[in-house]
Chains A and B, each alone.
Chain A
Amino acid sequence: MAEYKWPDADKRTLIGKRISRTDGPHKVSGHARYNSDLNRPGMLHGRLLCSPHAHAKITSIDTSAAEAMPGVKAVYIIPDPDREIKWAGEEIVAVAAVDEPTARDAIRAIKVVYEVLPHSVLDTDPKAVGSLARPAQAQKVGDPDKGFAEAEVTAEGLYGMPVITHCCLEPHGSVIEWEDDKNLLVHLSTQAVSSIAAAMAPVLEIPAANIRVKQDHIGGGFGSKFGPDRWDFAAAQLSKKAGGKPVKIFLDRDSELMVAGARPSAYAKVKVGAKKDGTITAWQSESWASGGQGGGGSPPMPYIFNIPNQSKQHTAIQTNIGPQRAWRAPNHPQACLITMSALEDLAAAIGMDPLEFFLKNIELTGPRAEIYREEFQIAADLIGWKKNWHQRGDKTAGPIKRGLGLSLHTWGGGGHPSDCDITIQPDGSVELKMGTQDLGTGTRTTVEIVAADTFGLPMGVVKVLIGDNRFPTSGGSGGSTTIAGVSGATRRAALDALDQIFAKAAPALGAKPEDLEAVAGTILVKSNPAKRLTWKQACSKIGQVPITVRGKNPGPGKLGDSGVGGVQMADVSVDIETGVVRVNKIVAVQDCGLVIDIKTAESQVYGALIMGVCSALYEEKIMDAKTGKMLNPNMEFYKLAGIGDIGDLVVHMMTGKGYDERGVIGLGEPPAVSPYAALSNAVANAIGVRVPTLPLTPDRVLAALAKKGGSNARI
Chain B
Amino acid sequence: MSDEKKPDKQGLSRRGFLKASGISLSVPLVLNYRMVKAAGAEVKVLGPGKAPIQLTINSKPFTAEVEPRVTLLEALRNDLDLTGAKRVCDRATCGACTVIMDGKPVYSCSVLAIEAQGKKITTVEGLMQGERLHPVQQAFVDNDAQQCGYCTPGFVVACKAFLDKNPNPTPEEVKRGLGGNLCRCGTYVGVRAAVLQASRGRKGGQRG
Contacts and interface: CB of A to CB of B under 8 A. Distances in A.
Interface of A: 20-21, 23-25, 27-34, 36-37, 39, 45, 99-101, 167-171, 217-220, 222, 252-253, 439-441, 599-600, 602-604, 606-611, 614, 634-636, 640-644, 646, 649-651
Nearest to B179: A642
Which of B85, B127, B151, B186 has the most chain A CB atoms inside 10 A of its CB? B186
Nearest to A99: B78
B81 to A, nearest CB: 5
A169 B148 contact: yes
Given A20-B144, A39-B78, A635-B88, A27 B189 contact: no
A610 B191 CA distance: 13
Given A24-B140, A37-B83, A169 B94 contact: yes
Given A29-B128, A100-B78, A440 B148 contact: yes
A634 B185 contact: no
A24 to B, nearest CB: 4
Contacts of A640: 182-184
Which of A30, A222, A640 has the most chain B CB atoms inside 10 A of its CB? A30
A441 B144 CA distance: 11
Interface stretch (B1-9, B26-34, B36-44, B67-75): B67-75
A217 B192 CA distance: 24
**Top 8 nearest A-B pairs by Cβ distance?**
A30-B84, A610-B186, A219-B150, A440-B148, A607-B186, A440-B147, A27-B149, A30-B124
A649 B187 CA distance: 11
Dominant secondary structure at the B interface:
loop
A648 to B, nearest CB: 9
B137 interface: yes
Contacts, number: 182
Given A219-B86, A643-B174, A634 B93 contact: yes
Given A28-B141, A635-B89, A440 B146 contact: yes
Contact of B178 (A25, A218, A222, A643): A643
B156 interface: yes
B125 A29 contact: yes
B190 interface: yes
Task: Place the interface of chain B in its size category.
Answer: 35 or more
Nearest to A648: B189
Given A30-B124, A37-B83, A169-B96, A253 B88 contact: yes
A439 B186 contact: no
Nearest to A441: B147
Given A169-B94, A220-B150, A607-B147, A33 B83 contact: yes
A45 B70 CA distance: 14
B133 interface: yes
B188 interface: yes
Given A220-B185, A635-B93, A644-B176, A31 B133 contact: no
Nearest to A672: B186
Nearest to B171: A648
Given A28-B153, A29-B124, A635 B182 contact: yes
B9 to A, nearest CB: 16
A651 B193 CA distance: 15
A220 B184 contact: yes
Nearest to A168: B184
Which of B83, B138, B151, B192 has the most chain A CB atoms inside 10 A of its CB? B83
A39 B148 CA distance: 20
Given A167-B184, A169-B96, A644 B88 contact: no
Interface in B156-195: 156, 174-176, 178-192
B26 to A, nearest CB: 28
B144 A253 contact: no
Nearest to A646: B188
Given A27-B146, A253-B90, A440-B148, 10 more contacts: A20-B141, A20-B142, A23-B149, A30-B124, A39-B78, A169-B151, A439-B147, A599-B144, A603-B144, A640-B183
Contacts of B182: 169, 635, 640, 642
B84 A649 contact: no
Dominant secondary structure at the A interface:
loop
B102 to A, nearest CB: 20
B202 interface: no
B78 A217 contact: no
Nearest to A644: B175
B77 interface: yes
Given A217-B148, A644-B176, A610 B74 contact: no
A45 B74 CA distance: 12
A100 B50 CA distance: 13
26 contacts: A25-B137, A27-B152, A28-B138, A28-B141, A28-B156, A29-B125, A29-B127, A30-B82, A30-B124, A30-B125, A30-B153, A37-B77, A37-B86, A39-B81, A39-B83, A100-B70, A169-B86, A169-B148, A169-B150, A171-B88, A220-B150, A222-B184, A604-B147, A607-B186, A635-B93, A646-B188
B103 to A, nearest CB: 19
A36 to B, nearest CB: 8
A112 B81 CA distance: 35
Nearest to A219: B150
A23 B189 CA distance: 19
B141 A24 contact: yes
Contacts of B148: 169-170, 217-220, 439-440
A636 B93 contact: yes
A34 B127 CA distance: 20
B200 interface: no
Contacts of B133: 25, 28-29
B91 interface: yes
B144 A634 contact: no
B91 A636 contact: yes
B141 A25 contact: yes
B147 to A, nearest CB: 3
B161 to A, nearest CB: 15
A597 to B, nearest CB: 10
B166 to A, nearest CB: 15
A640 B93 CA distance: 10
Interface string B103-146: 00000000000000000000111011000010001101110101
A166 B208 CA distance: 26
Contacts of B74: 100
Contacts of B85: 30
B193 to A, nearest CB: 11
A218 B146 CA distance: 12
A643 B192 contact: yes
Contacts of B137: 25, 28-29
A113 to B, nearest CB: 28
B149 A217 contact: yes
